[in-house]
Amino acid sequence: MKMPFLRLAAAVLCLLAAPATAQNADAPIQQLLQEHGEIIAKSSRRTIEPAIQALASSGLPAAQEVLERWQAKEMWLNEETGLFVFAEEIDRDTIRIFDPADGTEIGLVPDEGYDQLKPNSGIRGLIGAALVQFQLSDPDPVNRATALDAIERDAEESHLAALRAAIDSEPDAALKIRKQRLERLLTIRFDTDDAARIAAIESFAGDLGVDVRATLNPLVATRIEAATTLPEGDDIAGTLSPGTEALPRDTAYALLVDAGLAPPAISRADQRAALVANIADGAVAGIQVADLNTEAARDLAYAELARAGVVAAVALETEIDDALSGHVFYERFTGAPPQVALAALAALQDIETRVALNRTLDLTLDALSLASIYFLAAIGLAITFGVMGVINMAHGEFIMMGAYTGYVVQLIIPDYTVSILVALPLAFAVTFGAGVAMERLVIRWLYHRPLETLLATFGISIALQQIAKNIFGTQARPLTSPAWLDGSLVMNDIVSISYIRIAIFVLALVFLALFLFVMNRTRLGLEVRAVTQNPRMAASMGINPDKINMLTFGLGSGIAGIAGVAIGLYAKVTSEMGADYIVQSFMTVVVGGVGNIWGTLVGAALVGSLQKGIEWLNPSNTLAAQTYMILFIILFIQFRPRGIIALKGRAAEA
């Protein structure tokens, strides 16, 4: 009994609160809503679009708010008067209503006499599309950008006029460029003037944007047809030959059957089954079974059965060949009028040419990036191998030590830029010291015994990996790059290269310059070159070869540590990461020329380019790509065992 009383009390309160303002039933926006009131009230996805378009194109100031309120389910219908209002719910039984004409509050009323419009997701999508034209001229640039995003996702024909009207008044240069580009794309899709569409297509000549290709591709859509003679018309895109990849033989004959130009075909298996089913007294259609040992005989027997009405009349293999040769197959443009389709086809062909060139450029940049990584990884090995003739299988572990040094520094110094600047010289110092210790304790006792050196350093590499696992665990550790190295340098939709790889490339060039300076402009470099060319003569001139060997091995190890920091910025830092680069490092050194910095540079470029080229030819199998690369290197060494740039001196003799 309490509920009816509460409802009555709410109604009395609403009446006492009486509408503060009478609703303006003659307002233009209300009149427009009344014109489409029936379909608005029904809210059917199939019939609602005219009402939405009428509001969007009305030019009335209140139209945008009406659409927004309708989309937000804040529009109600007065069931008694048929007038539309905005409303917000106060409680379960009361709403506050507003006049759609000017937004003024009318008052509190019971919700019993009002029906809330609840558009479904499909209708809300249509309303959202209609609201785009208002958002394109919104004072807030964020809303204008959002509108452009909506058009890019789901463009409609109505957006074209709205875009054209919003371009000249756009104050933001970047948004204006986006609007102009979208306007041309929508012109291609929706404009009824072929000349305007062709002009818009030609304006995108050479544009590599994915949106351009997505817009042009539907225009060059074709349908394959067949006829006895080639029809005339500009919409004929070209002819096709049956039995080719573009038009398989079975597909071509199926076209003839569908067009009523040939009877259905029968497969050999079905033909054989039909003949077996009609064997009578050891013969089929008067032909002895023993004589049905050729395709021609079986075709003849089946034809006799067909003439007798026993089986359906179908085309046999010889008849299929005759039918195919007696008809012409052609493609007809279906996506656009012929002139528009031809313009789109020409633009796509130009774009494909540029795409191929840019893919080549992108592949070249990838190869240079990989070459710079291999150069950094191999330069230290080139020094130790070239000067000392030591096959250092633990070189990869010095790279790993440098990467872990960078990781530890970042744990202490949270600023990534500062930590990298500290990690580079510290990694050099750590691995330099480790290299000197390794040379003093192991390598110096194994000179001129390459096999024993290889086995000893291989054992050291295993030990260093295990030590790293014991300290840092088996989980990959992050070596985070500074924020200014995030992202990529994007030249277009095809060509891009990450800033980290650019930094590694620059670092490789810096090390090349420093190495050349040290080797050609310092006393240490002079002594190293002297020991490399003739250690006995260098010793007779007061140079200590033993000390030079120690410093050289330490220098090579230190450079490997710096390479580890650089590589760790984009690769996983694990105890096995050095093993990923030791093989490529040796290949780089051997191919380029042992002990020659220019040879190492050329070798890195060759190995990096070769690996990227093989991966491009076989992108689904990187292991196979590496195998092919190793085989190529083996063959290369057979013809040029000293590498591209051979070094004279002790390394060459070795």
Q: What is the mean pLDDT of each run of 10 residues along the chain (654 residues)?
A: 43 44 78 87 82 84 86 88 89 88 87 87 82 82 88 83 87 92 93 93 88 92 89 86 87 86 80 83 82 82 81 76 87 91 91 88 87 85 73 89 94 91 94 93 84 88 92 88 85 83 88 85 83 78 85 88 88 85 81 76 86 76 68 77 61 45
Look up residue 324 and give its amino acid: L
- Please list the helix, strand and coil fractions of the chain in percent, rounded to the nearest 5, in that order: 65, 10, 30
Which sequence spans correspond to the domains of the chain?
2-124, 136-220, 222-333, 362-578
Tokens 């006049």, residue located: 99
Copy the structure tokens of residue 402: 């440098």
- The pLDDT assigned to 478 comes to 84
* Nearest residue to 234 via CA among 339, 152, 313: 339
Query: DSSP string of 305-339?
Result: HHHTTSS---B-HHHHHHHHHTSEEEEEE-SS-HH
Copy the structure tokens of residue 140: 């807030």
* Nearest residue to 569 via CA among 481, 636, 443, 631: 481
Q: How far apart are CA 113 and CA 17, in angstroms?
A: 16
Q: How far apart are CA 599 and CA 581, in angstroms?
A: 18
- The pLDDT assigned to 66 comes to 87
Number of C-alpha atoms within 13 angstroms, CB side, residue 334?
8
* Nearest residue to 90 via CA among 111, 112, 119: 111
- The pLDDT assigned to 637 comes to 73
Q: How far apart are CA 502 and CA 506, in angstroms?
A: 6
User: What are the start-end ranges of the E strands in 483-560?
Assistant: 488-490, 496-498
